[in-house]
Chain A
Amino acid sequence: MTTATVSELQALTAAKIIDARGAACPGPLLEAKKGMGGVPVGSIMEIWSTDPGTKTDIAAWSGKIGHSFLGVIEDAGYDRVFVQRGK
């Protein structure tokens, strides 16, 4: 799966940011599912997480549900995970 580069991700503006830092699996995944309901189709959602499994979780979830997993920026102590709503 090809994902965007860090600079491409940094240029994106998210319609919604889910701050799930401090929550352990499956918390960030559930927050992402809940939050995506408020994101327009085609728009971007960003999930911030300190749980190292979140990026692979969101990638798997995106593929299953029909969203586009765009990539991850590893920031200071947490990951910024980018997803585009597909449907």
Chain B
Amino acid sequence: MHPMNETLSLVLFSGTDDKLHAAGTLAAGACAMDRPVNVLLQYWALDAFRADQIGSDHGLAFDSIRPGTRHPPAGSAAIPWLETFRMAKELGEMSILACSGSLEVLGIAAGELDPIVDGTGGIAAFLLAAEGGQIVFI
């Protein structure tokens, strides 16, 4: 059993490729360090994990429109966030849950989600699992 303060809990709200990549990197780093990772998908991150959407172009965050910013040369769809999540899940202890509230608001059925999503969860259960550890909101 892991000490509770080792757990990294990620609340993913944003669904752009760059932010999902940042989230995947955090999750992967924690998994590599043998820290349990709990991910809660809300809103646009949840939508990005729909089975029919997960491989498509999710664009870049609003920051990217500033003149002069450098963009990924091959476009945002080339950002390997899904591969990072998959590998991290394979190597470590990671749970990815869909926020039941966001499913309801967006009208997404749990069955529409990619199999990498382990199930549906509520906020209290997520916060209980996060207790004593670190929570990051992206």
Contacts and interface: CB of A to CB of B under 8 A. Distances in A.
B28 interface: yes
B28 A30 contact: yes
From DSSP, what is the main secondary structure of chain B's interface residues?
A: helix
B25 A33 contact: no
B91 A30 contact: yes
Nearest to A29: B32
B45 interface: no
Interface of B: 24-25, 28-29, 31-34, 84, 87-88, 90-92
Given A30-B32, A34-B91, 12 more contacts: A25-B25, A26-B24, A26-B25, A30-B28, A30-B31, A30-B88, A32-B32, A33-B91, A61-B32, A61-B33, A65-B33, A65-B34
Interface of A: 25-27, 29-30, 32-34, 57, 60-61, 64-65
